[in-house]
Amino acid sequence: MDTAYKLIGPFTQLITLAGLPLKGAIADEQISPLAQAGILLKGNKIFKTGNYESLEKEAALLGAITVTLEGEYVCIPAFTDAHTHICFAGSRAQDYAMRNSGKTYLEISEAGGGIWDTVQHTRKASLEELTTSTIHRANRHLSEGVTTIEVKSGYGLSVKDELKMLRAIKAANQETPAELISTCLAAHTLPRDFEGSHSEYLEKISQELFPILLEENLCSRMDAFVEKGAFSPENILPYFKKAIEKGFQITVHADQFSTGGSTVAVQLNALSADHLEASTDKEVQLLAQSDTIAMALPGATIGLGCAFTPARKLLNAGACLAIASDWNPGSAPMGDLLTQASILGTFEKLSNAEILAGITYRAARALNLTDRGRIEQDMLADFLLFQTNDYREILYQQGKLKPAQVWKNGECVFTSNFD
Ligand code: NIG
Ligand code: FE
């Protein structure tokens, strides 16, 4: 194990996010940037933060390697994207064009579009092809500051093809500096070629797929799309209960077009309920009073041209709000988390602190990870450097200011060549 000390700095501002709450609204005044600061690492973890000059003295005594920065930099925790579908094949550019020229969901689906189109392309792709494209997207995300990425299956929709996707995600995780956390979304939609009911399909998945997932250590998280036309609360409850019995953690595609999913999520104490564009005040209260994290997916709002998740209401009610990209070929093809989070902020009137919390420690919590998302002692040394002197520039530039450096596990894994 690497236990070498390393000092990085000085930063014009260091934003640690230490001490900010897990739930509810946060004001920017609670952020308290540290000026002329540094970070002392021990191996892959944060050892100390503080005034750069004092840390320099300590670093010398410890024989630390020093990484001295020239110019103005703001350092913030690296991002976690807790909801993506970046393992897929094919493109849905035609769906997008048809949707924007006023075609209905049914017309798009009849023209061969929708989730089923991606399923067919993904089924045809080899394990190697899926692995390579997942690595490529993960590395793009990494260069934009996302060091932890949740990746769902859900475009296989058969035991064999869901396994192929999850094996590809596992293989991709070995080949990118980003950390990929996989989730099984076999309950994305009823595959068109399945001869049987929704319950029969779910029964088959739980009987045949769950044991292999556990045996091969392919994932520890289970997701489902609870929606009209996908799976009803009645279908999904017994499926999720079986998953919980087997030790899987639960997350739900909830309240995207109609309500129902978030109630299931809260009832099962799911880690997160994601989407929530259709949530009413009732669901907002329900989520706020629970430990289930409310996950806004502005990329799907921007991709589909529909409502934003009621993020302001959720925070005011006391919920834990995380923000994820939902990067997928259908509803959210852009996949730029920072841009999407800033845009959500302008529409929902979120503070810088609330947005940053939503893509760092609050997002990590949605993956049950408590070791990242803040820059404080014993946390993983996952952080970003932006070439600016004011942290507010990051969201002000709405994603156009990209990180100059990305650090993961105490190593610089990406340096921008753009000044
Ligand atoms: O999160 N809502 C369901 N699933 C995805 C969309 C998947 C697709 O259209 O390919 C989502 O938006
Ligand atoms: Fe999704």
Query: How far is Cα 118 from Cα 124, in angstroms, rounded to an integer?
Result: 10
pLDDT score for 293: 98
* Ligand with an atom nearest the CA of residue 254: 1
CA of 386 to the centre of ligand 1 (A): 32
Query: Are the beta carbons of 79 and 18 closer than 8 angstroms?
Result: no
Whether ligand 1 lies within 6 angstroms of the CB of 95 is answered as no
* Rounded Cα–Cα distance for residues 195 and 325 (Å): 33
Residue 279's pLDDT is what? 98
| pTM confidence score | 0.98
* Cα 330 to averaged position of ligand 2 atoms, centre (Å): 10
> What is the three-class DSSP state of 413?
strand
Does residue 261 have its Cβ closer than 6 Å to ligand 1? Answer: no
| Residue 385 alpha carbon to ligand 1 centre in Å | 32
CA 18–ligand 1 middle distance (angstroms) = 34
pLDDT > 90? residue 106: no
157 has a pLDDT exceeding 80? yes
**Residue 208 is which amino acid?**
E
Task: Assess whether the C-beta atom of 253 lies below 6 angstroms from ligand 1.
Answer: yes
**Does 249 contact ligand 1 (Cβ within 6 A)?**
no
Instruction: Tell me the per-residue pLDDT of 211-220, one tens digit each, with 9 for 90 and over.
Output: 999 999 999 9
Cβ of 329 below 6 Å from ligand 1 = yes
The CB of 272 under 6 Å from ligand 1? The reply is no
Question: What is the C-alpha separation between 286 and 101, in angstroms, rounded?
Answer: 37
Q: What is the pLDDT of residue 333?
A: 98
Evaluate if residue 110 carries a pLDDT over 90: no
DSSP secondary structure code for residue 226 in this structure:
B
Tens digit of each residue's pLDDT (9 = 90 or more) over 334-349: 999 999 999 999 999 9
Measure the N-to-C terminal CA separation of the chain; round to a whole number of Å. Answer: 35
Task: With a cut of 60, say whether residue 410 has pLDDT above it.
Answer: yes
pLDDT digits (tens, 9 = 90+) for 158-189: 999 999 999 999 999 999 999 999 999 999 99
The reply to whether ligand 1 has any atom less than 6 angstroms from the CB of 155 is no
What does pLDDT average to over the chain? Answer: 97
The amino acid at 231 = F
The first and second tokens of residue 265, run together, are 């999520």
Q: How far is CA 112 from the centre of its chain?
A: 29
pLDDT-derived band at 222, boundaries 50, 70, 90: very high
Residue 45 has pLDDT above 60, yes or no: yes
Helix, strand, coil percent values for the chain (each to nearest 5): 40, 20, 40
Mutate to test the pocket of ligand 1, among 236, 328, 334, 340 (most ligand atoms within 8 A of CB): 328
DSSP state of 172: H
The pLDDT of residue 109 is 84
Nearest CA to ligand 1 atom 9: 330
Please give the structure tokens belonging to residue 158. 């058969």
260-286 pLDDT tens trace: 999 999 999 999 999 999 999 999 999
pLDDT at 1: 62
Query: Does residue 310 surpass a pLDDT of 80?
Result: yes
pLDDT band at 419 (very low <50, low <70, confident <90, very high): low
Closest ligand, as measured to the CA of 324: 2
Q: Tell me the mean pLDDT in the region 63-83.
A: 97
Counting from 1 in the atom list of ligand 1, the atom nearest the Cα of 95 is 9
User: Looking at residue 292, what is its pLDDT?
Assistant: 98
Q: How far from the centroid of its chain's Cα atoms is residue 19's Cα?
A: 22
Share of the chain above pLDDT 70, in %: 99
Judge contact between 137 and 186, C-beta under 8 A. Answer: no
